[in-house]
Amino acid sequence: MPPHWRDAAISGQMAFGFADAQSGSRAEGSWPMLQGKVAVTIDAVCQRCLEPFELPLTAELRLLFADDAAAGIADDAFEVWELEEDKLRPLDLVEEALIMALPLVAMHVDDATCHEPGVLEEKPGKTIRPFADLKSQMGQDD
């Protein structure tokens, strides 16, 4: 575990406002929205070579907030997030967006920076076979 893994600085810009497909102004049918971009570089372990490396993550935020009654909103420009509460923490939004931006398998970007996994050398020595004498013991009748 890297010593300062929680100290990664997140950079970004977020803008809150209202989205209305018909008039573009805040009216009865408008919904709160968020647009922005966040970026962070985290410490990860390459699943190919098992070496630590820095993984850059970016997430584009284009969210439209709604309640259960507005679940039928269809807008390709925004992702609809259903809210259960009236209050919202921006930290939770950023955290969720960055978690969703994580790749399924963390690996170096190119093969040149990925180290080949080390091959374990077999050392000649005494081989322990705990069940080697079992066959002979099974053949004996008591």
How does pLDDT run across 1-32, given as a tens digit for each residue? Answer: 666 767 788 899 999 888 765 444 444 567 88
Select from 67, 56, 63 the least CA-distant residue to 94. Answer: 63
How does pLDDT run across 85-117, given as a tens digit for each residue? Answer: 778 788 888 888 999 999 998 888 777 777 765
pTM beyond cutoff 0.85: no
Is residue 36 scored above 50 in pLDDT? yes
Q: What are phi and psi of 96, to 5 degrees?
A: -65, -40
The DSSP line for 4-60 is TGGGPPPEEEEEEEEE-TTTSS--TT-EEEEEEEEEEEEEEE-TTT--EEEEEEEEE
What is the pLDDT, as a whole number, of residue 142? Answer: 57
Is residue 42 scored above 70 in pLDDT? yes
What is the pLDDT, as a whole number, of residue 26? Answer: 40
Q: Which residues pair with 42 in a beta bridge?
A: 55
What is the pLDDT, as a whole number, of residue 58? Answer: 93
**Sign of the C-alpha dihedral computed for residues 37, 38, 39 and 43 taken in this order:** negative
The residue with greater pLDDT, 114 or 62, is 62
Mean pLDDT of 50-55: 86
